[in-house]
Structure 1
Amino acid sequence: MPGPEVLLYGLPLAFLAGFIDAVAGGGGTITLPALFFMGLSPAQVVATNKLLAIFGSASATVQYWRKGHVERALVWRLIPLALAGSALGAYLVHFVDPDAFRTLVGVVILGVGALVLTNKRFGLDDHYPGLTPRVLALTLPGALLIGTYDGFLGPGTGTFAMFMFALAGFNLVRASGNARTINFATNLGALLFFLIGGQMVWWIGLPMGVANALGATLGARMAMLRGSGFVKVVYAVIVLLVSARLFLVH
């Protein structure tokens, strides 16, 4: 078991992860390697990461919610499906080869990033039409799939959710607000599951969670202040980081 000195780098990394995650998702690409580097077992890493992530996702959700950047009527319909998908993903991990799935997701997320970046106006304008049949046909199964991915593998869940909401017509700031809310729900569901397993390292997860929440608060406020153009730049960086982790880390 590591000593308290690991928090000297764990806290600033958790803060940075919270900032990035609140803007464009992908904070786990920073915290997961940090926890592994501390010497925790794989089970402890996954459980402790969910513990600290719930702080950041909750903090970001509150910020976006207060400023009206969460489409509540839509999100409330999606949360149950995301939670069901998260449970399904945790079940499927026992039957599907995660390495093959990781490579497939890496290819998909690179394609998503390319689409976002090559379309100069994608996600910059808000033209959400409301709860139309097209929006529901996209987001209802999308929430189930995103929740399943989060329960099965995890990295880039918020990034995928942002892309789904942008396709539904939201600008990237509102897409980020909606995605953070969905991500908070799936994190909460996973947290309850991991509480039963008893693998959380509380003395690491709690202080890193507070740092993650502070970073998420700053990130959400920066995203709302700077707008969708800023979010798009951070999104591009996160796509590359998540893809690299999926391809290179096994």
Structure 2
Amino acid sequence: MLGILFVIGFVGNLIGTLAGGGGLITLPTMLLLGMPVHSAIGANKVANTVSTLSNFFSVFKRKEASWNEVVPILALCFIGGLLGGGIASLFTEQTLTVIAICLLLFALCLSFLGKTDFGQELELRLKKRTAGLLVGVGIYDGLFGPGSGTLLLYIYAHEKLAYMKAVVLGRVGIFATCFGAAIMYVLNGQILWAETFSLMIGSIIGSQIGIALARKVSALLAKYLLRVITVVLIIQLVVELF
């Protein structure tokens, strides 16, 4: 079981870094292995917190983000993740799945309308609407998770950020939401530590390879990759729902 968790952590974070949607691999697999749903979500949060933190070293070494951009995103997503993790027990998995499907369908429609195509901007100018969306994704990620990385990429694409910049800030947001949510899952005693550590090691390796590959991906390829991952996410969530 621990070996399987390592593999899914690797594959999930490799894909999740490039287009989000890593949760469509890790979460269902953990549930199939018999992990309780809240323990599986908690393991995801802890593993993603550490793996995205490992990306920071690469990002700041290459000066691909500034603290002026990063700090507001960290604060907003952390607050959202903390809130989501705190109220997770109030929602059923079915309700959260419906919410996820609606959000992803909306994002996919915007993509085909051309309103969420990656642009050439290299700096995020944070607007009130964007700030609210970041908190909202943080809450959703703390509650459930699958698709949150994809939704962050859509938010940044709507702001016409370059793809690599969107990936970098997406990892920043995932770190903050997962950190906030992980605190609540740890405090609630819902973490299975051996399983979580196996997932974490695979996640760190996958995220490092993913961010290296992202530097070589064109904006057009990124757009199609994002759409494919979104469709797969929606299909998987619908299958789970019914």
Q: How high is the TM-score relative to the length of structure 2?
A: 0.87
* Per-residue Cα deviation, 1:52-84 (whole angstroms, up to 9, x for no partner): 222322233433333333353233113222222
Hey, what does 1:199 align to over in structure 2? 190
Hey, what does 1:154 align to over in structure 2? 145
Aligned residues: 241
Aligned counterpart in structure 2 of residue 41 of structure 1, from 30, 36, 43: 36
Structure 2 residue 56 is the aligned partner of structure 1 residue 99:
no
- Please state how far the C-alpha of 1:104 moved relative to its aligned partner: 4.0
Pair 193,90 (structure 1): closer, same or farther in 2 beyond 3 Å: closer
Hey, what does 2:17 align to over in structure 1? 22
Hey, what does 1:171 align to over in structure 2? 162
State the AA in 1 paired with 2:197. L
Hey, what does 1:139 align to over in structure 2? 130
Residues 123, 161 of structure 2: 8 Å contact kept: no
Q: Which runs of 4+ in 1 moved over 6 A?
A: none
Moved more, 20-29 or 240-249: 240-249
- State the distance in 2 between where 1:204 and 1:183 align: 21
Q: Secondary structure at the match of 1:243?
A: helix
Pair 60,244 (structure 1): closer, same or farther in 2 beyond 3 Å: farther
Q: Secondary structure at the match of 1:225?
A: coil
Hey, what does 2:121 align to over in structure 1? 127
- State the distance in 2 between where 1:103 and 1:151 align: 16
Pair 92,14 (structure 1): closer, same or farther in 2 beyond 3 Å: closer
Moved more, 147-156 or 224-233: 224-233
Residues 69, 178 of structure 1: 8 Å contact kept: no
- State the distance in 1 between where 2:236 and 2:221 align: 23
Q: Secondary structure at the match of 1:188?
A: helix
- Please state how far the C-alpha of 1:8 moved relative to its aligned partner: 3.5
Pair 108,189 (structure 1): closer, same or farther in 2 beyond 3 Å: closer
Pair 27,129 (structure 1): closer, same or farther in 2 beyond 3 Å: closer
Which of structures 1 and 2 has the bigger CA Rg? 1
- State the distance in 2 between where 1:149 and 1:25 align: 14
Moved more, 154-163 or 228-237: 228-237
Structure 2 residue 9 is the aligned partner of structure 1 residue 9:
no
- State the distance in 2 between where 1:91 and 1:48 align: 15
Hey, what does 1:3 align to over in structure 2? none
- State the distance in 2 between where 1:236 and 1:247 align: 16
Question: Percent of aligned pairs with the same residue?
Answer: 22
Residues 20, 234 of structure 1: 8 Å contact kept: no
- Please state how far the C-alpha of 1:101 moved relative to its aligned partner: 4.9
- State the distance in 1 between where 2:96 and 2:17 align: 26
- State the distance in 1 between where 2:93 and 2:38 align: 15
- Please state how far the C-alpha of 1:127 moved relative to its aligned partner: 2.9
Aligned counterpart in structure 2 of residue 215 of structure 1, from 206, 216, 235: 206
Aligned counterpart in structure 2 of residue 241 of structure 1, from 213, 216, 232: 232
- Please state how far the C-alpha of 1:192 moved relative to its aligned partner: 1.6
* Per-residue Cα deviation, 1:106-152 (whole angstroms, up to 9, x for no partner): 133123124324539920x3135763xxx422321122111121122
Q: How high is the TM-score relative to the length of structure 1?
A: 0.85
Structure 2 residue 68 is the aligned partner of structure 1 residue 77:
no
